Amino acid sequence: MISSSLIPCGQFKTTYAADTTIFLTPASRYWCFAGILLAAASPLVLSNYLLALMIQIGFYGIAALGLNILVGCTGQISLGHAAFFGFGAFASAWLNNSFGVPVLLAIPLAGVMTTLLGLLFGIPAGRLKGLYLAIATFASQFILEDFFARANWFTGGSSGAMANPISLFGMELSGDKSFFYVVLFFVVVMYLLGTNLLRTRDGRAFVAVRDHYLSAEVMGINLTKYRILSFGISSFYAGVGGALYGHYLGYVSAEGFTILLSIQFLGMIIIGGMGSVMGTLMGTAFMVLLPEGTEAAVSTIKHFTGDIPALTSALAYIKEAAIGLAIVLFLIFEPDGLVHRWRLIKSYWKLYPFSY
């Protein structure tokens, strides 16, 4: 949690309850509600293509928030987040296909299953730190990938698993428009839970473990417990995000959950802002939109110059290189992420034009 040290002008809080609200000012709360309403209205105007991008931002954003709680808040590292994301997708499909659990129930249940798996794979985190932990989580990525390829009963093996669309009161929510609302609902709920977590006892314990584990221990925090718990919570988010991904695509196959996606998740939270809930969503949006933006830019260039075969054939590489470049540039110029930049912009306009 990156807390702001400044209380905006004109804000007088007279109770502790008023001082512990999520939003610092009523205005920021209303802006957030307005944002949710705007998002809820967007299927009316946005094309299916843009809506699909929003849905992607939604489920990747949920999983990225989990990684941010683990990496940004607790100061651990995980190179296996995509595997847990994948496990959630398979688990939800499996619960629905094998036991007939309704999809809307199977999604959180898949999250719980992934939590248990995360707690198991988090055990090394109780003892390992830094690079050693990175390698241990790297191993969990490959163990799970192998599991996906072999466990026919669970994942359908190399042929993958079918994931049914969500049905609610006999209505099938399969189109982009209706699925968008499902994702929006989960995003709001999961981000709210994350925010609450970070302002209560265990969330503070996570940040304490990150900032100074020796004194955290002296304050009565069981380091091993919280390091493992952090893996569990991060996996819960990965599982729910993955389950949404599965039911959105309608088909889950192991190829989607490689180490590359794990790195992309890390990219999202680095670009968005480590330890920031809102930053996670910004970073995810950036990472999802960047390749699309690159493609749009390339086609604009083509529009003016005519077709350049070299550029067209290199487009795939340009997209990937752009992600790498973005991460590097952010690490150098804005290590605190988009959320920090956003705060700077806000404070700039607050004082404009008398900036000092």
Partner 1 sequence: MSVSDTPVLEVRDVSLAFGGVRALTEVSFQVNKGELFSIIGPNGAGKTSMLNCVSGRYKPTAGRVYMDGRDVTGLSPNVRATLGLGRTFQNLALFGHMSVLDNIMVGRHHLLSNNAVSGALYWGTGARKEELAHRRKVEDIIDFLEIAHIRKAVAGTLPYGLRKRVELARAMAVEPKVILLDEPMAGMNLEEKEDMARYIVDLNEEWGMTVIMIEHDMGVVMDISHRVMVLEFGRKIAEGLPDEIMSNERVKVAYLGVDDDEPAQTGEQVA
Q: How far is the CB of 306 from partner 1 (least distance, A)?
A: 52
Per CB under 8 A, the segment of 54-62, 77-85, 98-106, 212-220 that binds partner 1 is 212-220
Residue with tokens 């669309």: 165
Q: Identify which of residues 158 and 196 has a Cβ nearer to partner 1 in the complex.
A: 196
The answer to whether the beta carbons of residues 283 and 64 sit under 8 Å apart is: yes
Q: How far is the CB of 188 from partner 1 (least distance, A)?
A: 14
C-beta neighbour count of 302 within 10 angstroms: 14
C-alpha to C-alpha distance for 268 and 67, rounded to whole angstroms: 9
Site string for partner 1, 225-264 (x = CB under 8 A): ----x---x-------------------------------
Q: How far is the CB of 193 from partner 1 (least distance, A)?
A: 4
The answer to whether the beta carbons of residues 74 and 227 sit under 8 Å apart is: yes
Task: Choose which of 116, 143, 219, 296 interacts with partner 1 (CB under 8 A).
Answer: 219
C-beta neighbour count of 300 within 10 angstroms: 10
Residue with tokens 């009963």: 153
C-alpha to C-alpha distance for 280 and 230, rounded to whole angstroms: 17
Rg of the chain (C-alpha set): 21
Task: Choose which of 111, 124, 256, 275 interacts with partner 1 (CB under 8 A).
Answer: 275
Q: Identify which of residues 88 and 194 has a Cβ nearer to partner 1 in the complex.
A: 194
Task: Choose which of 25, 154, 177, 202 interacts with partner 1 (CB under 8 A).
Answer: 202
The answer to whether the beta carbons of residues 246 and 89 sit under 8 Å apart is: yes
Read off φ and ψ for residue 148, nearest 5 degrees: -60, -40
Site string for partner 1, 8-47 (x = CB under 8 A): --------xx-xx---------------------------
Residue 204 is a binding residue for partner 1 (CB under 8 A): yes
**Token couple for 315:** 């487009």
Read off φ and ψ for residue 173, nearest 5 degrees: -100, 80
Per CB under 8 A, the segment of 31-39, 125-133, 204-212, 318-326 that binds partner 1 is 204-212
Q: Identify which of residues 19 and 172 has a Cβ nearer to partner 1 in the complex.
A: 19
Encoded amino acid at 87, one letter = F
Q: Is 266 exposed, middle or buried (0-12, 13-18, 19+ CB in 10 A)?
A: buried
Residue 313 is a binding residue for partner 1 (CB under 8 A): no
Rule CB under 8 A: which residues touch partner 1? 1-7, 16-17, 19-20, 193-194, 196-197, 199-205, 207-208, 210-212, 214-223, 229, 233, 275
